[in-house]
Every structure is written in structure tokens, then in C-alpha cells.
Amino acid sequence: MRSRGALLAILLLALSAGCRKGEERAAAPSEASCRRVIALAPNLSETLFALGLGARVVGVDDYSHWPPEVEKLPRLGGLFNPNLERIVSLQPDLALLVPSERDLGEKLHRFGVDSLIVSNETLADIERSFHTVADRCGVPEAGERLAAQWRQDLRPDPVAGAPRVLLSTGRPAGRLADLVVAGPGTFLDELLQRLGAVNAFADAPIRYPEVGMEEIVARAPDVVIELRADPLSPEVAGRLVEDWKALPQVTAVREGRVKVISGSHVLIPGPRLPQFYRELRKALGGAG
């Protein structure tokens, strides 16, 4: 059985593959038409609660685990297995979806459920999503406040040395295989830029490529960071680091700069991204 972190990594890949047409089906802002809301992605659930709209949320996807209040809400499936019958039974008036769920939005429309497609691939997308959701639900001031604080918390804060960094977003534990990394055009790549670091796979042909060992050696990262959406014990994190000893020729491995950042906020392109940003800076050798 895959861990929740592995499933989130797969979800991240799938979301990045969705065509980008921006926010869709955004009816005129109306608090009255945003009284019963469902969110079908973790970042959208978190955004609703960060905007103070948690009392209106009547259901969430299987991967939403923050804030703790969402654990009491009905689960509605995920990107690959949305439970249409259960969604309709909740009688929502608005569904928040990501671009890869556009087909689900069309199905819901036939049941009289409005949908709002919200992009989340870049930092600009994420910040815009706060305004989009807030405006649609009649609380524009909350969107302004959230976006302003988020922007302040993610201001550029370079570390010394411009390290070359590999960000691993998913692989099986125990072996260096099927390794997916953050490439160009992702919010993870943008965070590295704000920290003055160089993405070792900034020139990859897709946003989240699967890479081989020879390619990693050729890219010669100064720092390797494993990103895991499951909170990990020090022992489990230590074993992930041990896996990298299979590549002693890589500078990051040879000099002991393989790090692990884990937690329910990791890999979620939403309001808690500043927490991850601080941890990423610390992992790169900054003060944090």
C-alpha cells in the first residue's frame, strides 16, 4: 500500500499535467452561492480555512489533513476516484477544483453544482487563488490579508554560496529508483530561486521528471533534499539519507548534505508554503 506521502507526490504530478486555462466557471461573487462548499485538493481545503470559511466546508478530498477540523468532514475521493454520488448527496453549491479535475466540474454542472477551477502550479497561481476563492465567496478582504502576509513571508532571502540543489518529490524508500524531482516552472523551483539556489534540474523538459542515477551524477548537486508529505521519525528520515550512499561520487552525498523535510505541509501549494520555505532555507544552510 502506498503511503499518503507517495500518493500526494503522484497527485502533484497529475495536477501539473492539467492544461492551464486559469480559473473557470467563476460566477458573479456571491456569499449566498458559497454556503456549502466542497474542496477536491488539499491546497484548496487549506485555503478555505485560512480565509475563515471553514464553517462552509461540507466535504473534502481524501488527501486533505489540515487543519485538524477537516478530519471530521466527509471524504469525497480524489483526483482519480471522485465519489460523484456522495458529492451530490451533500448538496454543495460550489466545488473548488484544480485544472486536472475539469471533467468532474462538467459532471457536477449537470447536477446543478457550480465549480471553480483554481490553478496552483506557480507561486503567482497560488497567491491568485487566495483572491479568486475569497472573491467568489464574498470575503475579498480576507483574500487581501492572506495574500499580503503570504507574500511577505515568501520574500527573497538568499543563502550563501548559490548551492546546486536536487529536490526529490517522491521515490520508493530503500532504493534510489523511480525518483521524481522538481523541474522548471514549479513553485518548488521558484522557491529555490528566491533562496539564491540553483535547481539541478532547472532545464528538464517537464515540470516533474523521473530521473536516473547517471543523470543525478552528471548534474552534481551540492545539496539533495528529500521531500515527504508524511511526518517522519528521525529513524525513518535517517534511512532515506542512508539510501543515497549508493552514490558516493555525488558532492551532496560525499559531504553529508542530504537532507529530509517532512510533514503534512510539504508538497502542498497553499497557505502553509511559508512554513516549508523556512525549513527549506534552513536545510540549505541558512539560519531558518
210, with CB counted inside 10 A (0-12, 13-18, 19+), is: middle
Tens-binned pLDDT, residue by residue, of the chain (288 aa): 344 544 555 455 555 554 444 444 444 455 567 999 999 999 999 999 999 999 999 999 999 999 999 999 999 998 889 999 999 999 999 999 999 999 999 999 999 999 999 999 999 999 999 999 999 999 999 999 999 999 999 999 999 999 999 999 999 989 999 999 999 999 999 999 999 999 999 999 999 999 999 999 999 999 999 999 989 999 999 999 999 999 999 999 999 999 999 999 999 999 999 999 999 999 998 644
Q: Give residue-wise pLDDT tens across range 107-142.
A: 999 999 999 999 999 999 999 999 999 999 999 999
Q: Give residue-wise pLDDT tens across range 32-46.
A: 679 999 999 999 999
CATH, domain range 164-283? 3.40.50.1980
CA dihedral 198, 165, 284, 17 (to 10 degrees): 90
- Nearest CA among 284, 69, 65, 59 for reference residue 157: 284
Q: How many angstroms separate the CA atoms of 252 and 275, rounded? A: 24
Q: How many angstroms separate the CA atoms of 82 and 200, rounded? A: 36
Q: Give residue-wise pLDDT tens across range 83-100.
A: 999 999 999 999 999 999
pLDDT at 1: 37
Here the cell at position 27 is 460566477
Every domain range in the chain assigned CATH 3.40.50.1980: 4-153, 164-283
pLDDT at 20: 46
Here the cell at position 53 is 470559511
pLDDT at 255: 95
Q: Percent helix, strand and coil across the chain, each rounded to 5?
A: 45, 15, 45
Domain 4-153 superfamily per CATH: Nitrogenase molybdenum iron protein domain (3.40.50.1980)
pLDDT at 80: 86
